[in-house]
Amino acid sequence: MNMTSAILPKAALLFSLALGSAAALAQTAAVKVDGAWARATVQGQKGTGAFMSLTASEATRLVGVSSPVAGVAEVHEMKMEGDVMKMRALPSLELPAGKKVELKPGGYHLMLMDLKAPLAKDSTVPLTLLFKDAKGVESKLELKLPVGTAAPGAAGAAAEHKH
């Protein structure tokens, strides 16, 4: 437990630095986020995924992601190549106007790597999404994702099922 308290202030500092450097960005992205969550990790695990659905009011692209808990964060795509599930980093993800784009296990996802501490179930993790529109104007979105072992909706459905 001492380890957690030692790591947290550092993460908070990194986060405020990241906010400071991004202060020049004028606007907040007009992108709706639903069902966002990050997958919990165990001690020693260095990478995990974050998932959500994104709906842009005007066509834009997701060009970057960052989090104070991860040394490296990338937009990833996962798909079958023959019999093998492969994962690769995408330079950007198209978000057409009004169309819901799902980031979910087995498909597009946000990859958090070089984790500075395990992501504990039922905690939250800050995440910043960076968008670039057709005119090249950048905007960002600050999120706080719940950490869990399954999508929030799926967990809720499972809980209801017990009654």
Binding region for Cu ion (CB under 5 A):
76, 87, 111
Indicate the residue type of 141.
Answer: L
Minimum distance of Cu ion from residue 81's CB (angstroms): 14
Q: How far apart are CA 152 and CA 119, in angstroms?
A: 16
Per-residue b or e along 21-31, where b marks 16 or more CB atoms closer than 10 Å to that residue's CB: eeeeeeeebeb
Minimum distance of Cu ion from residue 131's CB (angstroms): 20
Minimum distance of Cu ion from residue 112's CB (angstroms): 9
E strand or H helix that includes residue 139? strand 138-148
18: which residues sit within 8 A by CB, 6+ positions away? 66, 68, 128
Residue closer to Cu ion (CB basis): 29 or 111:
111
Minimum distance of Cu ion from residue 72's CB (angstroms): 11
Residue closer to Cu ion (CB basis): 12 or 73:
73
Minimum distance of Cu ion from residue 71's CB (angstroms): 15
Residue closer to Cu ion (CB basis): 86 or 100:
86
Residue closer to Cu ion (CB basis): 49 or 118:
49
Q: Which of 11, 3, 1 shows the shortest CA–CA distance to 125?
A: 11
Using CB atoms, what's the residue nearest to Cu ion?
76
Q: Which of 47, 5, 28 shows the shortest CA–CA distance to 128?
A: 28
Residue closer to Cu ion (CB basis): 19 or 46:
46
